[in-house]
Copies of this chain bind each other. A is one copy, B any other.
């Protein structure tokens, strides 16, 4: 008596279809798998039998013998974050169009979680993976290299890892940030707050210290900080550590920090926010301080949304090609899986500064 191990109820196998149709397994397999040659006559009988039994191929078994799962894995920090949700949607769309399914894993910005996630994907024998990695280089890219060693193509999305020679689909964060801050400077601002910077135990004493912390943290954040500094340098505006928020990235902390910057003797007159949560946090602080934008404080932030457009006044924001970021990453990955030449280049998509009405000259123009 055969056990039922591995065979749930109501799941006919190809053998059963073959029996029903009165043909050999192989013939059934050929018709159902759409390969080889089968006489129209038998073909019809097999199809009829399959239909009658409600046959559905077991993708697992198929993957076992072909070694291909038609599945790609995606690792992002937080699937609940609208930015990543948009990217993932782009990935799903493009991969589905290419006949692939998607497994999504969230890491919450934790490298150990990220490593565990790559292992899960390796175990599940995905054909490739797309990672928005929290790794910054050095020794924390071991898991990515391992995937590569095991023959699993990897493409990076949103976050590049400079030390890794890999396909990556990103925007030019540094340039986008610089453009935004330049816009602020052009309006006459010189005291420009930066929210948020890298996690640090204590405020940086020097610019060098800040940059070092940044280089040990998220690639995107570091780039955006550099863009901010670039713009300051170009305008010969001295860097003031008091004007950057460091530490844990929480909306409430933004509110506190902006309140601090706004209470400074030589207070900020403009604010550059590197993320949506930073924008909302900043807005809270401004209101609490009885300050209005753009009259008292000008504001530009990352990640445009429908909300930013309906604020009153509407917000000037940086728009990222969220969907395209994901779609492009999936396309590059699929090309790689299909054996295209592994070019290993960085694909830089264009972001856009959407100018609306949150930027105005500072209250009292500097002397």
* Chain A residues engaging chain B, CB cutoff 8 angstroms: 5-11, 54, 56-61, 63-67, 69, 71, 78-82, 84-86, 88-90, 92-93, 96, 101-106, 119-120, 122-125, 146, 149-151, 251, 276-277, 280, 283-284, 287, 305-312, 322-323
Contact = CB atoms under 8 A, between A and B. Distances in A.
Nearest to A78: B89
29 contacts: A5-B66, A8-B67, A8-B151, A9-B151, A10-B151, A11-B150, A59-B123, A59-B125, A61-B64, A78-B89, A79-B89, A79-B92, A80-B86, A80-B88, A81-B85, A82-B82, A82-B85, A89-B106, A92-B104, A92-B106, A101-B120, A102-B105, A276-B306, A280-B306, A283-B310, A284-B309, A284-B310, A287-B310, A287-B312
Contacts of A105: 92, 96, 101-102
Nearest to A73: B101
A10 B150 contact: yes
A310 B102 contact: no
Nearest to A88: B79
B124 A60 contact: yes
A104 B106 contact: no
Q: Which of A308, A310, A312 has the most CB of B within 10 A?
A: A310
Contact of A101 (B10, B54, B86, B103): B103
Nearest to A282: B310
Contacts of A104: 88, 92, 102-104
Contacts of A277: 306
A61 B67 CA distance: 11
B67 A6 contact: yes
